[in-house]
Amino acid sequence: MQNFTSWRTWGEARAALPDPAALDDAADAALAWHGDQTRPTGVPYGEHLLEALEAQVRGAGVTDPGVLAATLLHDVVEDTSATVADVEARFGPDVAELVDWVTKPPAGGAGRQAKRAAKAAYLRRLRDAPWRAVQVKLADRISNVQRLDQMPPDFQRRYYAETVTYVMPLAPPDSWYAGWYAEWSRQYAHLR
């Protein structure tokens, strides 16, 4: 299974991109909005964004600047003080719409069950998303699941099931995404 963990800084990613200037503002904004946040694995949040970007560029061969900008910005509304309006003001309606599609709405009720139900509804809603928004979600999840073995065992099983149930069915229009997820699911089949 191909992993996407070689871009740790924007400078490393920038050096590998064919047109980095088109993404400088999105990278700067995403890294500033996320600040010193870290992921559950302990890595800086920015590394997750760069992993998703690397999956798009080196894996799927995506060149669409809107999709790539949204990939860098995909979590800013969900995990920072930024709003969809902030994204639209800075990056335009196209990027804002893509970010909005992949932003999980806050859970309506308290408790673990309410959060899981809200997340399942959000993931089901992605079946109606435009392909470009789905590409952003697929790359986001690639970054998340390529390190699944570093998470607690109960989380691994739940996240594997969620990915197989909701995310993998989104991949088939593109043979690269479909192939990557098929290989990933075989590697983690012990979590069934």
Q: How far apart are CA 184 and CA 1, in angstroms?
A: 6
H/E run at residue 69? helix 65-73
For residue 38, give the 3-state DSSP assignment: strand
Q: What is the CATH number of the domain that holds 119?
A: 1.10.3210.10
pTM over 0.85: yes
| Predicted pLDDT of residue 80 | 96
In a domain, 82, yes or no: yes
Task: Tell me the residue range of the domain where 25 lies.
Answer: 10-191
Q: What is the pLDDT of residue 108?
A: 67
- Catalytic residue selected from 12, 25, 28, 78: 78
- Residue 140 among the catalytic residues: no
Q: What pLDDT is attached to residue 118?
A: 87
Residue 125 in any domain: the answer is yes
Is residue 78 part of the annotated active site? The answer reads yes
Residue 5 lies in a domain: no
Q: What's the number of domains the chain is made of?
A: 1
pLDDT along the chain (192 residues), means of 10: 96 95 98 94 93 98 97 97 98 98 83 86 96 98 94 94 97 96 97 92
Catalytic residue among 79, 94, 100, 162: 79
